[in-house]
Structure 1
Amino acid sequence: MSALDLDADLVELAPAPSATAAVAALREMAFRADAWTPQETERLRRLFAADTALADIAADLGRGRAAIAERVTLLGLRRNSTRTWTELDDAELVRRYGDEPTAAIASDLGRSCSAVYARAGLLGLAESNPPQWTAWEDAQLIEGYRRGVPVRQIGTLIGRPFGGLSSRAATLGIVHANQPARWSPEETARALELAGAGHRYHAIMAIMASEGFPERTIRGFGPALRKLGYGRGWGRAWTPEEDALLTRAYAEGLSLTPLRTQLGRTAGSLRHRAEYLALRGSHANRNGFRQGPDWTEDDEKILREQYGRVLTRELAARLERTKAAVTTRANLLGLVHGYIRPFSDEEIRALDIAYRTGVSIADLAEALGRKPMSLSKYASNHGYAFGRRPRHAITLAALLASEALPDPAAA
């Protein structure tokens, strides 16, 4: 974890109090029975910091929930609540989502922006055109760029997409502390925008070169983007809403790309969480989000019978799969490759007979179903120096029957 990575529960980089309009000279005003006392305000701060539900705070202070929400907003309080969503929370989210900045909704509900995104996804809410940036969002963006905080983490903090941040930064005329050397702000903004859209590095480089930006090499391009925070996570705990979204994506065979954008998670984070939850897709690939055909019982039977007895590349061609797919499946089934399996007493006896009767190491390896190199190494380590010998095809049964030597295991 980098020293610049944000704390998982951080909800604000810099305070941004609302600007107050100019007012006339103060005058005496009548006493209001519902005025907030300093004691009530302090009590509200303590309960809010303890992650108490707004309805419970209202009951404790003897005020309405709307009054508590308004006071929390006026005080600029923020938190990353882990409480279960209530019907009132859902109703508020449905009413405001897509029309107001996610950061403003998150502040009023006392939750993080990523939690709001996750809940909106579960409720099937759609975003409209991006709302105007607020002063609080601008303050977090400016402070994050000044500190060199990874851009993806800033986006998750304030609830804006990856590309939107770089665009807003260009509008504000600010440059990230980790701006790559000899890169213009426009080049950085365009690279982050294309990366946020899911393009691979080579595709981004080709697109930008066609648009007139300098041609970059992959050796420098990837590290430059990663230094800005692309494809980076920092250990935020998964919420029940995020788990539910991921579970639904696997159950319905949906793309995981929107989840990476909305939740601020990397592909690796989604993959590891899916493994932890034992998720498998219900689409054509029943074993999850992966390429290649599913393994049938007949495929696994062939694999069990022939793995290690024939060359892996030949077995892969027979099964119409890649060599990596064969070895991965074999590992999952707990199969041990025949060329590295322990030598049995029968094989040790055959080795001794072959050495005495002039059988070549290559013929013995073929009879035992092993690699000549590994067999030669084993023979040398046990004092058998075969040297060069003429080749003669021989089977294991014929070799064992050629000389009646006592079984080493019986000695």
Structure 2
Amino acid sequence: MKPLDLEADIVELAPVPATSHIAPPLRELAYRADAWTPQQTDRLRALFGADAALCDIALELGRGRGAISERIALLGLRRNSTRPWSELDDAELSRRYGEAPTATIASDLGRSCSAVYARARLLDLAESNPPIWTPWEDAQLVEGYRQGVPLRQIATLIGRPMGGLSSRAGYLGIVHANHPPDWSAAEAARALELAEAGHRYIRIVETLAAEGFPARSGRAFGLAIRKFGYGRGWGRSWTAEEDALLTQAYGAGTSLTPLREQLGRTAGSLRHRAEYLKLRGSHLNRNGWRLGPDWTEAEEQQLRQDYGRIPTRLLAQNLGRTKAAITSRANSLGLEHGYIRPFSDDENRALDIAFRTGVSIADLAAALDRKAMSLSKYACQHGYQFGRRPRRAVTLDALLAIE
């Protein structure tokens, strides 16, 4: 079954189920001046759907902000708000973050869970132990598993890590619609945990086998875990908070992995957004998470000057790097090699002599300080078919002295 991608503006898969209880006998209620009228409720729905700020809604309806949040939660209204965060929003988030479920905070603030995560990181708010799951979160988890929605999208929708989804699903006794039939729930949960930690598929396969799970090939594992929708992107528009958080991460040189996990974004999505915001170069680790030293401005300047003008091998020696590092950095800077050292008259004469005297193309390449492959191509273009020949050491001067 193919994973079901959600639309970008979906904030709820299923309404929270009503709590079953025995209703007491009806009685006459006393009149309350602050009771909500149908007209006020309709107006609240319209303003909330138009992405109005909660304080503006409270002002228009003549009620307190807390009353508006309570009514919104009671009506089960949710949205992906794009409005800037106010001081009241930040204060409410700072007071409750880590104590109440992210989905509940998002509902009270009229925002998405990913927006709450992004703002919390910008405010440097610390997370505590995971709060108790709410009925609304359980409803989204059950419906998402039933529809086969990718796990990363479910995690982003309700504001929980993917590892938490697997644990809660096991507790509820539900199985994802795309769950491989030959996988146990424990194996799936462990595989997702290792994948979310950033391990390569082949390493995950080895770890699972060492822990007693069935031995699988890397290809079979990749196909199975992708059925869950792991690593799939979600076409949500970027919010101002997410852009600010990405800019902050690049400016401070911090790891981007938490952003992928909490914002529900793929590495490619973060990279493309960083390019759109022109953040490349402002990140302290702008060469990626490589083991070699970062490139200095002086080294890049020398690379721009010499790349394609001298052999890459010599350039790598001059910069104290490998040829692969030179090529990789040149590609990232958009440099074109185009290096074809013109053949001199002496080299053309040596080529003709070598062909006539049985010198191999490999020995001739060593004498001319050229690559054997490029020299062979050049020789073929000029009608010299060397073929297989015995090897012997020669020099350019020795070849030219034969004439």
TM-score by length of 2: 0.83
> What is the CA distance between 1:130 and its match in structure 2?
0.7
1:106 aligns with: 106
Kindly provide the amino acid, as one letter, of the partner of residue 190 in structure 2.
R
> What is the CA distance between 1:208 and its match in structure 2?
2.4
Which residues in structure 2 correspond to 1:1-400 (within 5 Å)?
4-19=4-19, 21-279=21-279, 280=281, 283=284, 285=285, 289-296=289-296, 297-298=298-299, 300-301=301-302, 304-305=305-306, 307=308, 309-310=310-311, 312-313=312-313, 315-331=315-331, 332=333, 334-339=335-340, 354=348, 358=352, 374=374, 377=377, 384-386=382-384, 393=396
Distance 1:245 1:24, change over 3 A: same
Deviation digits for residues 103-135 of structure 1 (CA, Å, limit 9, x no counterpart): 111111111100000111111111111111111
> What is the CA distance between 1:33 and its match in structure 2?
2.3
Q: CA RMSD in A?
A: 3.4
Kindly indicate whether the alpha-carbon contact (under 8 Å) linking 1:49 and 1:79 is maintained by their aligned counterparts in 2.
yes
Kindly provide the amino acid, as one letter, of the partner of residue 304 in structure 1.
Q
Deviation digits for residues 27-58 of structure 1 (CA, Å, limit 9, x no counterpart): 22333222222222112111111111111222
Distance 1:59 1:318, change over 3 A: same
Deviation digits for residues 204-260 of structure 1 (CA, Å, limit 9, x no counterpart): 233322322112221211221122122221222221111222222222222222222
Distance 1:371 1:191, change over 3 A: closer
> What is the CA distance between 1:306 and its match in structure 2?
6.0
Of structures 1 and 2, the one scoring higher in RCO (CA 8 A, sep 6+) is: 2
- The CA distance in 2 between the partners of 1:175 and 1:216, in whole Å, is 21
- The CA distance in 2 between the partners of 1:302 and 1:76, in whole Å, is 59
> What is the CA distance between 1:10 and its match in structure 2?
0.7
Kindly indicate whether the alpha-carbon contact (under 8 Å) linking 1:359 and 1:392 is maintained by their aligned counterparts in 2.
no
Kindly provide the amino acid, as one letter, of the partner of residue 226 in structure 2.
R
Kindly indicate whether the alpha-carbon contact (under 8 Å) linking 2:249 and 2:255 is maintained by their aligned counterparts in 1.
yes
> What is the CA distance between 1:166 and its match in structure 2?
0.5
Distance 1:181 1:54, change over 3 A: same
Distance 1:214 1:372, change over 3 A: closer
| Gapped regions of structure 1 (runs ≥ 5) | 399-411
For these two proteins, the number of residue pairs brought into alignment is: 385
- The CA distance in 2 between the partners of 1:210 and 1:371, in whole Å, is 46
- The CA distance in 2 between the partners of 1:39 and 1:91, in whole Å, is 31
Range 312-321 or range 94-103, more displaced: 312-321
- The CA distance in 2 between the partners of 1:221 and 1:250, in whole Å, is 33
Distance 1:229 1:218, change over 3 A: same
Kindly indicate whether the alpha-carbon contact (under 8 Å) linking 2:3 and 2:148 is maintained by their aligned counterparts in 1.
no
> What is the CA distance between 1:288 and its match in structure 2?
5.9
Range 271-280 or range 257-266, more displaced: 271-280
Kindly indicate whether the alpha-carbon contact (under 8 Å) linking 2:303 and 2:330 is maintained by their aligned counterparts in 1.
no
Deviation digits for residues 128-161 of structure 1 (CA, Å, limit 9, x no counterpart): 1111111111111111111111111100000001
TM-score by length of 1: 0.82
- The CA distance in 1 between the partners of 2:76 and 2:34, in whole Å, is 20
- The CA distance in 2 between the partners of 1:378 and 1:204, in whole Å, is 47
> What is the CA distance between 1:321 and its match in structure 2?
2.5
Kindly indicate whether the alpha-carbon contact (under 8 Å) linking 1:281 and 1:287 is maintained by their aligned counterparts in 2.
no
- The CA distance in 1 between the partners of 2:174 and 2:11, in whole Å, is 22
> What is the CA distance between 1:303 and its match in structure 2?
6.6
Distance 1:20 1:173, change over 3 A: closer
> What is the CA distance between 1:293 and its match in structure 2?
1.8
- The CA distance in 2 between the partners of 1:68 and 1:255, in whole Å, is 38
Range 368-377 or range 43-52, more displaced: 368-377
Distance 1:59 1:320, change over 3 A: same
1:406 aligns with: none
Kindly indicate whether the alpha-carbon contact (under 8 Å) linking 2:106 and 2:116 is maintained by their aligned counterparts in 1.
yes
Distance 1:190 1:29, change over 3 A: same
- The CA distance in 2 between the partners of 1:46 and 1:307, in whole Å, is 63
Kindly indicate whether the alpha-carbon contact (under 8 Å) linking 2:3 and 2:227 is maintained by their aligned counterparts in 1.
no
- The CA distance in 1 between the partners of 2:303 and 2:20, in whole Å, is 76
Kindly indicate whether the alpha-carbon contact (under 8 Å) linking 1:299 and 1:319 is maintained by their aligned counterparts in 2.
no
| Gapped regions of structure 2 (runs ≥ 5) | 356-360, 387-393
Range 314-323 or range 119-128, more displaced: 314-323
SS across alignment from 1:259: helix
